Amino acid sequence: MNKSFAILMLLFFAAVSLANAQVSAGVYRLSSETFAAIGTDPDNKMFGEARVSTGNEVGIEGTFGYNFIQKEEVNFYSGFHLGTRGNSESFYLGVPLGLLLKPFNSKNFGFLLEASPIFRNERSNYFRAGIGLKYTFR
């Protein structure tokens, strides 16, 4: 794993712990990969998440988002992903567009719908989309 990415993830977790924020956890199926995620409260205007992907190659990803629409039942967000996969020394950048739907009385549980173009290099860019479950511990 690249040293800069490890430092970035360390800074992310330090910011989460200093903010005394609620913690969210999720499991997402995005294209052919499954992600386990832990992050800050997704109902904040700005939020972050660390994701570990499984599938063909194990990878790690930091996701930073901004809620453009925040309502009691739904959040619409965008932002960026920065991650790496497998033994690759290269990073990828993604631009997610996502919806967090909270249909139940308890607004801690939600369904995540996300689509994101992923930019690795000029020859291996791709598009991923999927669904997931997210729970916020308040």
pLDDT tens figures, 58-106 = 889 999 999 999 999 999 999 999 998 877 677 899 999 999 999 998 8
Q: What was the pLDDT predicted at 6?
A: 64
> How far is it, in rounded angstroms, from Cα 5 to Cα 107?
33
Under the banding of pLDDT at 50, 70 and 90, the label for residue 18 is low
- C-beta separation of 126 from 94 below 8 A: no
Strands (E), 31-91: 33-40, 46-54, 59-70, 74-85
> How far is it, in rounded angstroms, from Cα 79 to Cα 38?
17
